[in-house]
Structure 1
Amino acid sequence: MKFKMIATAVFGMEAIVKKELEQLGFENITVENGRVMFDADERGIARANLWVRTAERIFIKVGEFKATTFESLFDQVHKIAWENYIPKNAKFPVNAKSVKSKLYSLSDIQSICKKSIVNRLSKVYQTQWFEETEEPYSILVGILNDVVTVSIDTSGSGLHRRGYREKGNEAPMKETLAAGLLSISRWQSKIPLIDPFCGSGTIIIEAAMMAKHIAPGLNRKFDSESWRLIPSSIWKEERKACYEAIKHDVDVVLQGYDLDPRSIRTAMDNAELAGVEDIVHFQVRDVKDFSTSYQYGYVVTNPPYGERLNEQEEVKQLYQLMGRVFAPYKTWSKYVITSYENFEREFGTKATKNRKLYNGRIKTYFYQYFGEKPPRPKRTTESIENSKNKS
């Protein structure tokens, strides 16, 4: 059975999610603000949840229509063939969001949609009471400019919950955003990577999971894993494929530093839970002591933003220090995410590229400084002759 799917994304990350879906072999992919649509069958639902690193959740889209009155909303929701998705005793909570629409009371939207679904299912299952004691089918009713999109959440908890970060620091970065930053930077496992403000280790651990080809959803459960709609055999087969895809012999340089010893201990614990402790290195170190013997590499980091007024001067000085510390490493590319509007001025250099992203509810900018590329190897007479012979 084919389904219309929605992968939700952080604003600014939609193209990265689209690229991932393409690489996984999905078709009919289209992009809108905050979401990416694609087609999938039952196996595709499992595969998307297990493998997509940068999306927030995966939904089945079950209906889309215009509604400006609650009567119209009730009637249109009632037309959806809910019995094709929701068994008799399943849980089906309804959540709502509304932006720039005539219907804006979230509690009323939720209540009316729930009544409409119950009304239809009560006729199908010939009952007036639903126990709602079995597997969950969380329904989202989103209204934008009076257009209603009705969908069912296949993921459950957000896809950023990989299962390895039981502990975190005060301001953790979502795993999905960390993976997105690495994708935007086009980091590859052959490139040394350092995060000098690693906190609980998220960026380095996400890079390690990419290097070892560990599916991000391998160590967690999904709501749709308990659905009768998707045979359990599919999930078993897809999980088995994930285990078989893991690379165990990986040559990679991944280093994370932080001033806080507690953060470093947490990062090490998280790396162990993620199954990547063998290829990462975490150490207590001040950014002022940044150094590396590798000629080429990437710095990808999420330094303090200075969101509070009393922190502004401290953060300003920190960014000036970063500019001085990183300046000698002209062959290294530096990627910094921050909400600080004058980062480039304090850092001392205008970024090669700049991308607006959201870290939670905070508007941030991902400043990208491209390092000098390694020289191309000179072609010898022998290599030229070999290439001629091959052609």
Structure 2
Amino acid sequence: MYNLIATSTFGIESITAKELKALGYEDLKIENGKVTFEGDEMDIAIANVHLRTADRVLIKMAEFEARSFEELFQGTKGVKWHEIIPKDGVMHVVGKSVKSTLHSVPDCQSIVKKAVINSMSENYGISEFSESGPVYKIEVAILKDVVTLTIDTTGPGLHKRGYRELAGAAPLKETLAASMLLISRWRDDFELIDPFCGSGTILIEGAMIAQNIAPGSNRNFVCETWSDQMKKTFDMVREGAKKAEKNKEISLIGYDIDYRVLKVAMENAKKAGVDKYIKFQKRDFMNFSSSKKHGFIVSNPPYGERLGEREALGILYKHMGDIKRKLEGWDFNILTSIEGFEKFLNIKSTKNRKLYNGKIKCYYYQYFNNDKIKNPGDTLINELMD
């Protein structure tokens, strides 16, 4: 069994933990930016293939205090690296240091690499390593003089679903889009609209959730290159995920004023295999209306770049408030970096939480008014609501 870490963006850790619980994992430890749990090779595959909100899955090799390079070297050398890394493994070391005595990251990386090779040399009985085989990315992370050594099993981040080759200037990460949906109370028997859909990420993630499409079912992971058995394990997990997919009727609608952007969204939805579930339309939000009594808006509207003047943005958000008052039975879930968002709408949110869209600090404002949500359905979202 391994100590595993599912890393996540600040503010999303509890959602990632609920995902892991829904997958059957217990004894979870939630910390800033990560959730720790135990598992074997099968669990590494399950977490990578199924987690929607995590950034990557790491194997935790060791944790110890170090205030000198000697302590860092000895602590790293004592780890049984040979139990995971073969003789020909490529040992790629990356690092970060926050509020620690050992603040020079390049020096820390160099020390760790030397210690890993020293440990491997003693256990394999050889002094030189070809590093011509699979890649093992080792991270040395030092926080307040506590060193955490990990090996990455994921490779390119878990937000790389494989369907979005094209995106706008400041795209919403797939993992954040999924988090927005899982934090909302949306159920797939209610209409979901993104009136500023851009490249379609929120709606594509919504369709994947509703149809139980595993986010990692159409991509590969670095640890699959480690052994034939690991590759077979991932193939088994992907095969099981494919069999569990659904094909239910859902109503997802995306609007945008830019038809070129909509074409990108349509192409992304097609690559994700969910284009038949989403309707994309060229439409200005200033003309938005709906005859339905109940529904959900989940969106990441412009921060100002596309609309230009802040005055125009204020008009847009004020109009959003007017629409919210008209659509009393609708839930609104809006991610924005604009300060004073609630003042523009002139409506106080039911909840709001701080989230990060890349390095941009945002707030997720939620307006709960949908009284029919008391009858949960069978989507992952409802499991996470319990």
Q: Is the 8 A contact 1:356 1:366 kept in 2?
A: yes
Q: Deviations over 1:225-258 (max 9, x none)?
A: 111295332122111101101112x111100101
Partner amino acid, structure 1, of 2:368: F
2:69 paired residue number: 70
Map of 1:5-84 to 2, 5 A cutoff? 5-84=4-83
1:372 CA displacement: 4.1
Partner amino acid, structure 2, of 1:71: E
Cα gap change, 1:77 to 1:252, in 2 (>3 Å): same
Aligned mate of 1:329, from 327, 330, 334? 327
Q: TM-score, normalised by structure 1?
A: 0.93
Partner amino acid, structure 2, of 1:6: I
Cα gap change, 1:334 to 1:327, in 2 (>3 Å): same
Of 50-59 and 289-298, the range deviating more from structure 2:
289-298
1:188 CA displacement: 1.6
2:180 paired residue number: 181
Q: Gaps (5+ residues) in structure 2?
A: 376-386
2:384 paired residue number: none
Q: Deviations over 1:349-380 (max 9, x none)?
A: 11111111111111110000012414999xxx
Cα gap change, 1:179 to 1:375, in 2 (>3 Å): closer
Cα gap change, 1:310 to 1:288, in 2 (>3 Å): closer
2:96 paired residue number: 97
2:337 paired residue number: 339
1:178 CA displacement: 0.3
2:265 paired residue number: 267
Counterpart-to-counterpart distance in 1, 2:219 and 2:105: 30
Q: Is the 8 A contact 1:288 1:325 kept in 2?
A: no
Q: Secondary structure at the match of 2:262?
A: helix
Is it true that 1:352 corresponds to 2:377 in the alignment? no
1:307 CA displacement: 6.9
Cα gap change, 1:188 to 1:257, in 2 (>3 Å): same
RMSD: 1.7
What is the aligned length?
375
1:112 paired residue number: 111
2:86 paired residue number: 87
Map of 1:288-299 to 2, 5 A cutoff? 288-299=286-297
Cα gap change, 1:311 to 1:227, in 2 (>3 Å): farther
Q: Deviations over 1:136-163 (max 9, x none)?
A: 1111111111111100101001000000
Counterpart-to-counterpart distance in 1, 2:32 and 2:307: 32
Q: Deviations over 1:170-190 (max 9, x none)?
A: 111000000000000022211
Q: Secondary structure at the match of 2:189?
A: coil
Q: Secondary structure at the match of 1:28?
A: coil
Cα gap change, 1:36 to 1:341, in 2 (>3 Å): same
Q: Deviations over 1:294-350 (max 9, x none)?
A: 221100000111379964333222211222233200100000001111000011111
2:382 paired residue number: none
Counterpart-to-counterpart distance in 2, 1:182 and 1:299: 10
| Structure ranking higher on relative contact order (CA contacts 8 Å, 6+ apart) | 2
Q: Secondary structure at the match of 2:156?
A: coil
Structure index of larger Rg: 1
Cα gap change, 1:376 to 1:97, in 2 (>3 Å): closer
Q: Deviations over 1:201-222 (max 9, x none)?
A: 0000000001111000011110
Counterpart-to-counterpart distance in 2, 1:244 and 1:150: 36
Q: Deviations over 1:101-153 (max 9, x none)?
A: 11111101111100111111122223332221211111111111111110010
Q: Secondary structure at the match of 2:27?
A: strand
Cα gap change, 1:356 to 1:79, in 2 (>3 Å): same
1:235 paired residue number: 234
Counterpart-to-counterpart distance in 1, 2:374 and 2:70: 67
Counterpart-to-counterpart distance in 2, 1:120 and 1:198: 51
Counterpart-to-counterpart distance in 2, 1:230 and 1:307: 48
Q: Secondary structure at the match of 2:30?
A: strand
Indicate the percent of aligned positions where both proteins have the same amino acid.
48
Cα gap change, 1:307 to 1:102, in 2 (>3 Å): farther
Q: Secondary structure at the match of 1:358?
A: strand
Q: Is the 8 A contact 1:67 1:146 kept in 2?
A: yes
Q: Secondary structure at the match of 1:278?
A: helix
1:158 paired residue number: 157
Task: Point out 4+ residue stretches in structure 1 off by more than 4 angstroms.
Answer: 307-310
1:289 CA displacement: 1.5
Counterpart-to-counterpart distance in 2, 1:18 and 1:231: 24
Counterpart-to-counterpart distance in 2, 1:223 and 1:215: 18
1:282 paired residue number: 280
Is it true that 1:224 corresponds to 2:219 in the alignment? no
